[in-house]
């Protein structure tokens, strides 16, 4: 039963880790969007830097797309972990029921022995 609890704890830790990673990815995306906006303003103010800023925006969009893909992968992983956690919880519940049945049988056996 300890290994089941350990597995459950590991799954919960993995879910927390994934949620944290998603949160960090969202913050990074927001930061990149802010940098894109700043780059756009700078482009209007300094037309001589137009080509360099377009490259930067393009790089930021590519990085943003990569993060979105990573975010989607993390969401999929969290969904899989949630399914695994539900299965573990069902297994734990079944084990608890089996333990209760065993305890009742042992109690009846003890009464018969008396």
DSSP 2-56: HHHHHHHHHHHHHHHHHHHHHHHHHHHHHHHHHHHHHHHHHHHH-GGGHHHHHHH
Q: What is the pLDDT of residue 61?
A: 79
Q: What's the confidence (pLDDT) of residue 101?
A: 92
- Residue 92 and residue 8 in contact, taking contact as beta carbons nearer than 8 Å: yes
Residues 6+ apart with CB under 8 A from 57: 36, 39, 40
Query: What's the predicted TM-score (pTM) here?
Result: 0.39
pLDDT, one tens digit for every residue, the chain (114 residues): 578 888 888 888 888 888 888 899 899 889 988 988 887 777 677 776 577 778 888 888 787 777 667 777 778 888 888 888 899 999 999 999 999 998 988 888 777 776
CA distance 32 to 25: 10
Note whether 63 and 30 are within 8 A (CB): no
pLDDT of residue 98: 93
pLDDT at 56: 84
């Amino acid at each position: 039963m300890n290994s089941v609890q350990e597995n459950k704890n590991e799954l919960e830790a993995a879910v927390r880790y994934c949620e944290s990673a998603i949160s960090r990815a969202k913050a990074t995306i927001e930061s990149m969007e802010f940098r894109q906006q700043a780059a756009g303003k700078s482009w209007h103010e300094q037309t001589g830097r137009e080509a360099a800023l377009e490259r930067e925006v393009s790089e930021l969009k590519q990085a943003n797309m990569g993060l979105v893909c990573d975010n989607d992968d993390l969401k999929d992983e969290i969904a899989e972990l949630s399914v695994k956690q539900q299965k573990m919880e069902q297994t734990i519940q079944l084990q608890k029921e089996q333990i209760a049945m065993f305890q009742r049988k042992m109690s009846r056996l003890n009464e018969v022995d008396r």
